[in-house]
Amino acid sequence: MKLPLYIVNAFSREPFRGNPAAVCPLNEWLDDATMQRIAFQNNLSETAFILPADDGYQIRWFTPAAEVPLCGHATLASAAVVRRFLQPDCRRVDFQSMSGRLGVEFDKEKILLDFPVIPAEEVAAPGNLIRGLGVQPLEVLVAEYYMAVLDSEEQVRGLDVNLKDFATLDRKGVIVTAPGDEVDFVSRFFAPLLSVDEDPVTGSAHCTLVPYWAQRLGKTCLRAKQLSRRGGDLYCELQGNRVQLGGYTNFYLQGEIEI
């Protein structure tokens, strides 16, 4: 069987930056084990599988280790594939997912994702989180992931984390964030339990980051940067119980796989 496969860099308009996601359009679902093997073979932080539906597309996301309920950058990449190859020049596409309906709109070259807010609550910092960070955070919150708030962009950029400690936590990822020097806030994201040591750009983490920083900074429109080696830029807006995440993409590869 031959299947189309695209690799798209999300949250950057420049080659070799942003977060590369694989997108595999299907005519019918493969079994879960096969989709997991494809994601493992691709060895990217996410592989998205999309399937036409009556009102858009169904979408599922797999890391090399597991299926996940929500992924921002692979949704951005999937929308770019739909617009360029499947429905040229469409202005909107809707994805049905484990996290509900995810609307995507196109604003010229920018792609706008409509995602649910995932608010976090402040908690006492677990010892293994502190050991993994190697620094004492200002505060620690928890939702889908742990979120550690630090003093400065320089502190986030210079972190040398211990992933073995993060792998012992009761959440599958750790967000580290601080005020930005030239943007509203910066972040990094680590998920060793999902076989993603450090994710280049993490849309789903911003479902928790945006409401936190909107409240702290007293504004709903925010600019964000993820400080991975590849880096990425996000244009964010808090809209009630939804988060709009905007970003650019660039295409790296178009081909097919044989299974």
28 catalytic per annotation: no
Which residue, among 1, 34, 47, has the nearest Cα to 253 in the 3D structure? 47
- Matching residue, tokens 């936590």: 169
Spot the catalytic one: 14, 46, 122, 139.
46
Which residue, among 60, 43, 64, 42, has the nearest Cα to 51 in the 3D structure? 60
Phi and psi torsions of 53, nearest 5°: -130, 170
What is the Cβ-side half-sphere exposure of residue 168, based on CA atoms within 13 angstroms?
A: 10
The helix/strand/coil state of 234 is strand
CA 189/CA 247 separation, integer angstroms: 18
Q: Give the active site residues.
A: 46
